[in-house]
Amino acid sequence: MKGIFGSGTNDFLAVRISSLILLSYFLYLTFFVISNAPINFDLWNGLFENVVMKIFTTLFLLSFGIHTWIGTWAIGSDYLTLARLGGMGLNINKFYRMVCALIISCVTVWSLLIIW
C-alpha cells in the first residue's frame, strides 16, 4: 500500500521521528517549568524570544503537522471506505481529508505566525 510519503516504511519513519521531536519538546518544557518554578511572564517571554527556542518550536510545529496528518490519514483510510460507508465512502473520505488538512494547516501556520 502506498503511503503519504511514498511507502509505508517512510510513513512509519516520519511518525516515529516526529513523535521523538514532540517528546523532546515536551520534556524540555517540563524540565524548564520544574526547574524555574514559579514561572512569570518575563521568564516565559524570555524563553520564547530566544532564537534557538523559536527554531525548536518551529520544528515541533512542523512535526505536529506531519504527525497529525499521517494519523488522520490512517483513520480515514481505515474507517471511511467504500466497504464501511457504501457509495459515499470515497466522497466522505475526501471531505474528511480536506477538513483535516485545512485545520492542521491553519493551526500550524497560525502558531508559526505567533512564534515568529
**pLDDT reported for residue 115:** 94
Beta-carbon contacts of 32 under 8 Å, excluding residues fewer than 6 positions away, are 47
Q: Distance between the two ends of the chain, CA-based, in angstroms? A: 38
**Amino acid in the structure at residue 21:** I
- Cα distance between residue 116 and residue 111, in whole Å: 9
pLDDT score for 2: 67
As averages over each run of 10 residues, the pLDDT of the chain (116 residues) reads 73 94 98 95 96 98 96 92 87 95 97 95
Q: Which CATH number fits domain 8-115: 3.40.50.300, 3.20.10.10, 1.20.1300.10, 3.60.21.10?
A: 1.20.1300.10
54-74 pLDDT tens trace: 999 999 999 999 999 999 999
pLDDT at residue number 49: 96
